Chain A
Amino acid sequence: EADIYQTPRYLVIGTGKKITLECSQTMGHDKMYWYQQDPGMELHLIHYSYGVNSTEKGDLSSESTVSRIRTEHFPLTLESARPSHTSQYLCASSGRDRGIGEQFFGPGTRLTVL
């Protein structure tokens, strides 16, 4: 069982609110990822990090931001939530030095913006 956690699991929030989705892993992995997945659709990479103080934008245009101050923690923040942000957000980590290696996924956060 993967030691990667996400909170909250479910969130319903009004338009314009600032929200932070938490992701933590206890495996000491350097690489961490945020994916967005709409129902029945493929995953899209929105942010990733190769280590502390390293963050990059992914393939999907996103109005979110991330930070990586500690190895184990990779929070994602939406400054002003909109209905178009309604989706599932999945965090993942991997520890291989070269390439990605096996990815361990968190349980996801289902976000609904009213």
Chain B
Amino acid sequence: KNEVEQSPQNLTAQEGEFITINCSYSVGISALHWLQQHPGGGIVSLFMLSSGKKKHGRLIATINIQEKHSSLHITASHPRDSAVYICAAETSGSRLTFGEGTQLTVNP
């Protein structure tokens, strides 16, 4: 069992739909990171959070420390949101342990 697990692995949505990607982790963390990887391979950091909720534009990230669970939500999804979304747990020693990623496809 991986220390960081994401679901679903693949997600297809229609433009405008509300999307949720889930991340569960089994290790103690100091922070939880959400990253976005585009088809060309480039990776961008979306959020880093250790409690509560953060919002940036149409993206919202939440974390429940007690349940060791985080979610990434996308409101009013758009085809340009199509990418791989990666959850990563920051553990002691300033290192990240990555989930396998969720491939999101948003159709027009």
Contacts and interface: CB of A to CB of B under 8 A. Distances in A.
Contacts of A107: 40-42
**How many interface residues does chain B have, given as a range?**
20 to 34
Interface residues of A, number: 23
Interface in A32-73: 41-45, 48, 50, 58-59
Contacts of B90: 99-100
Q: Is the interface of B mostly helix, strand, loop or mixed?
A: strand
Contacts, number: 53
Given A42-B101, A43-B86, A103 B96 contact: yes
Contacts of B100: 41-42
Interface string B75-95: 000000000001010100011
A59 B97 CA distance: 9
A100 B31 contact: yes
Interface of A: 31, 41-45, 48, 50, 58-59, 88, 90, 92, 99-105, 107-108, 110
Given A48-B94, A103-B45, A105-B45, 20 more contacts: A41-B100, A42-B86, A42-B98, A44-B98, A48-B95, A50-B94, A88-B41, A99-B31, A100-B31, A100-B33, A100-B48, A103-B33, A103-B35, A103-B96, A107-B40, A107-B41, A107-B42, A108-B41, A108-B42, A110-B41
